[in-house]
């Protein structure tokens, strides 16, 4: 298999809920007027705590300077596993569990922190730019390493760091952070970019203006129903993650759906903000799921992590998590 190192230099930032109004103009431009910018990688995820944005340097210029925006102290690079040749965005989704043992676990073993973004199309593994030499060394025996330069895929040359690495001692990876599971079910979907203008007003409302009251269908005393919405526009491909109630607001035949109409159960990882320095959090969740052959999406945000597993069989992720942490 191939591991593509994408050419985007990325920023990861948090926008406080009370500061979203001052950022709305720039975010709308990035999401709906991409042709007016030079941005090629943009993702916005709303959680109950804040908005997390992952954006390349050109896109970051569209955002205002504000005390309501916190930026992670690193430049990030996106890695993408491709099963064969071709553009990364054209490959079939493989799920984070499919790369748990070949990518996520080895990086954790070498104390390399990752930030995950699963989309409808594929999975992006974000690593700090300064960690790239160690990343390449760690994964070079398993993958053909390629870099994307000006849209073209070329061989990734060694960065000259090949000695001095000590093979890590493999240790069990128990789950150490609290897990919680909201009651609402989620859909991972997409839409044709040509149809984006027809639902732009609806999407803007979902993204920025309807986060206060619960969506129709949620019980007023259902405290475990959470607000979560993710929009990604990466190299022309759109990915959406939203709860089942929100999908009902869209016209028929706009959103891509699988024949089985899959719903996904969310597991939130973390009782306190996780930060960016701890290694192995993604591996703690994805390894037991991979062992149980359970497909999953994984979305890291500025404060917490989120795994999505298929609705059936029920309680699978909790069962796997309990076993691995016992």
HEC per residue, the chain: CEEEEEEEEEEEEEEEHHHHHHHHHHHHHHHHCHHHCCCCEEEEEECCCEEEEEEEHHHHCCCCCCCCEEECCCCEEEEEEECCCCCHHHCCCCCHHHHHHHHHHHHHHCCCCEEEEECCCCEEEEEEHHHHHHHHHHHCCCCEEEEEECCEEEECCCCCCCCCCCCCCCCCCCCCCCEECCCCEEEEECCCHHHHHHHHHHHHHHHHHCCCCCCCCCCCCCCCCCCCEEEEEECCEEEEEEEHHHHCCCCCCCCCCCCCCCCEEEEEECCCCCCCCCCCHHHHHHHHHHHCCCCEEEEECCCCEEEEEECCCCCHHHHHHHHHHC
Q: Give residue 215's pLDDT.
A: 44
Tell me whether residue 108 is in a domain: yes
User: How many domains is the chain built from?
Assistant: 1
Indicate if the pLDDT at residue 313 is higher than 90. no
Name the β-bridge partners of 267: 307
| Distance separating alpha carbons of residues 302 and 116, to the nearest angstrom | 11
- In terms of Cα–Cα distance, which of 137, 147, 78, 145 is closest to 106? 137
Q: How many CB atoms lie within 10 A of CB 300?
A: 23
* Residue 273 within any structural domain of the chain: yes
pLDDT at 244 over 70: yes
The predicted model gives 192-215 an average pLDDT of 84
CATH of the domain at 27: 3.30.2130.10
Winning range, highest mean pLDDT, from 93-97, 174-178, 215-219: 174-178
Torsion angle defined by CA atoms of residues 31, 27, 188 and 280, in that order, rounded to the nearest 10 degrees:
130
The residues that bridge with 124 in the sheet, in sequence order, are: 117
CA distance 96 to 295: 7
pLDDT digits (tens, 9 = 90+) for 47-84: 999 999 999 999 999 999 999 999 999 999 999 998 75
CB 118 within 8 A of CB 78: no
CB burial class (10 A; 0-12, 13-18, 19+) of residue 78? buried
pLDDT surpassing 50 at residue 276: yes
| Range with the poorest average pLDDT among 66-80, 164-178, 182-196 | 164-178
d(CA 178, CA 306): 12
Q: Alpha-carbon dihedral of residues 180, 183, 184, 187, nearest 10 degrees?
A: 50
Per the domain annotation, does 291 fall within a domain? yes
Average model confidence (pLDDT) across the chain: 86
Length of the chain: 326
Q: Which long-range contacts (CB under 8 A, 24 or more apart) does 159-166 make?
A: 159/132, 159/133, 160/133, 161/133, 161/134, 161/137, 162/137, 165/110, 165/134, 165/137
Examine residue 166 and state whether it is found in any structural domain, yes or no.
no
Say if 168 falls within a structural domain.
Answer: no
pLDDT at residue 91 is higher than 50? no
Q: What is the mean pLDDT of residues 269-281?
A: 91
How confident is the model over 85-90, as a mean pLDDT?
48
- Between 11-15, 131-135, 173-177, 310-314, the lowest mean confidence (pLDDT) is in 310-314
Q: How many angstroms separate the CA atoms of 250 and 259, rounded?
A: 18
Q: Is residue 216 part of a domain?
A: no
Instruction: Tell me if 30 is assigned to some domain.
Output: yes
Is 217 inside a domain boundary?
no
Domain with 205 in it: 1-85+93-160+173-210+225-325
């Amino acid at each position: 298999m191939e591991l593509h190192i994408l050419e985007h230099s990325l920023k990861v930032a948090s926008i406080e809920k009370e500061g979203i109004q001052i950022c709305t103009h720039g975010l709308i431009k990035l999401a709906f007027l991409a042709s007016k910018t030079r941005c090629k990688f943009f993702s916005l995820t709303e959680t109950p705590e804040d908005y997390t944005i992952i954006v390349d340097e050109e896109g970051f210029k569209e955002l205002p300077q504000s005390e309501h925006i916190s930026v992670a102290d690193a430049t990030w690079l996106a890695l993408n596993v491709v099963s064969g040749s071709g553009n990364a965005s054209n490959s079939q989704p493989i799920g984070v569990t499919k790369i748990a043992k070949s990518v996520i676990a080895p990086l954790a073993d070498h104390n390399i922190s990752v930030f995950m973004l699963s989309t409808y199309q594929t999975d992006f593994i974000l690593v700090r730019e300064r960690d790239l030499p160690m990343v390449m060394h760690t994964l070079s025996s398993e993958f053909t390493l390629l870099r994307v330069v000006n849209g073209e895929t070329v061989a990734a040359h060694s960065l000259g760091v090949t000695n001095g690495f000590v093979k890590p001692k493999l240790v069990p990876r128990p789950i150490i952070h609290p897990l919680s599971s909201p009651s609402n079910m989620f859909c991972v979907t997409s839409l044709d970019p040509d149809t984006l203008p027809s639902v732009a007003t609806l999407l803007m409302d979902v993204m920025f203006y309807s986060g206060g009251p619960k969506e129709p269908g949620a019980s007023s005393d259902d405290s475990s129903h959470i607000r979560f919405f993710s929009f990604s526009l990466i190299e022309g491909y759109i990915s959406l993650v939203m709860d089942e109630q929100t999908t009902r607001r869209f016209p028929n035949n706009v959103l891509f759906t699988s024949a089985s109409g899959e719903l996904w159960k969310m597991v939130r990882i973390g009782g306190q903000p996780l930060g960016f320095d701890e290694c192995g959090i993604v591996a703690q969740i994805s390894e037991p799921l991979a062992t149980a052959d359970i497909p999953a999406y994984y979305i890291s945000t500025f404060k917490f992590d989120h795994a999505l597993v298929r609705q059936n069989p029920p309680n699978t992720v909790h069962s796997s998590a309990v076993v691995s942490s016992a």
